[in-house]
């Protein structure tokens, strides 16, 4: 069964010994609490790591108006942007608010996007968001600080584990074609 916001919140409630919900708009305290907290928790967990299921690439065109000074071009970040991972070959840029300032006429942006389709998430991300919800609502549901702390510790452990698993799906990053590295690795003489 694919994950949904409701299933994630219901599983978090189950972890805390509470009744599940069938809809985030139900007229009860549990649904209101989950509805109030879910988007923030989801976005925090998406920002916490570059999950493979929430990465996009886009080529940005400059805005019609240039910055007042310092750079030639201004680029507005996409509406679903949560975190910048890299900006192609551009090394001289500044992020200000939801804009990137640069002297390059176009930018290749790789970023974490607000993936609101839980059914496309990796199973480890679903687990982490479920644990994060349980940790975030633990005190409100159970009135127990020890339950809250226990869920936070479990979240911390699972988040580290999930990052490692997700990170293993990527090839190692290289430094590119730098003459200094080539010279150092091809030197055949003695120091």
Please state the rounded mean pLDDT for residues 70-98: 95
Comparing 101 with 162, the larger pLDDT belongs to 101
Could you tell me if residue 105 is inside a domain?
Answer: yes
pLDDT-derived band of residue 151, with 50, 70 and 90 as boundaries? very high
Query: Residues 134, 42: one domain?
Result: yes
Could you tell me if residue 13 is inside a domain?
Answer: yes
Could you tell me if residue 189 is inside a domain?
Answer: no
Whether 63 has a pLDDT exceeding 80, the answer reads: yes
Please state the rounded mean pLDDT for residues 56-85: 96
Strand partners, 59: 108
User: How many CB atoms are closer than 10 A to CB 95?
Assistant: 13
**Residue 77 lies in domain:** 54-113
Could you tell me if residue 28 is inside a domain?
Answer: yes
Of 116, 124, 126, 152, the residue nearest 16 (C-alpha): 152
Could you tell me if residue 180 is inside a domain?
Answer: no
pLDDT in tens, 19-54: 999 999 999 999 999 999 999 999 999 999 999 999
The domain tally of the chain equals 2
Q: The whole model's pTM is what?
A: 0.83
Query: Residues 46, 65: one domain?
Result: no
Query: Residues 96, 10: one domain?
Result: no
Cα four-point dihedral sign 67, 71, 72, 76: negative
User: Strands 73-76, 99-102: parallel, antiparallel or unpaired by DSSP?
Assistant: antiparallel
Could you tell me if residue 172 is inside a domain?
Answer: no
């Amino acid at each position: 069964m694919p994950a949904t916001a409701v299933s994630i919140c219901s599983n978090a409630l189950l972890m805390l010994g509470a009744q599940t919900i069938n809809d985030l708009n139900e007229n009860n305290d549990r649904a209101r609490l989950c509805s109030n907290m879910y988007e923030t928790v989801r976005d925090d967990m998406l920002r916490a790591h570059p999950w493979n299921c929430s990465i996009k690439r886009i080529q940005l065109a400059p805005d019609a108006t240039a910055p007042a000074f310092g750079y030639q071009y201004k680029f507005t970040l996409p509406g679903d942007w949560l975190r910048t991972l890299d900006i192609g070959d551009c090394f001289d840029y500044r992020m200000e608010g939801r804009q990137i300032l640069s002297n390059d006429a176009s930018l290749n942006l790789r970023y974490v996007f607000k993936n609101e389709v839980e059914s496309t998430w990796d199973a480890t991300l679903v687990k982490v968001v479920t644990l994060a919800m349980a940790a975030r609502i633990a005190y409100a549901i159970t009135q127990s600080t020890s339950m809250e702390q226990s869920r936070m510790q479990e979240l911390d452990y699972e988040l580290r584990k999930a990052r490692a698993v997700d990170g293993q799906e990527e090839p190692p990053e290289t430094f590119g074609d730098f003459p200094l590295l080539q010279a150092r690795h091809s030197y055949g003489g003695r120091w």
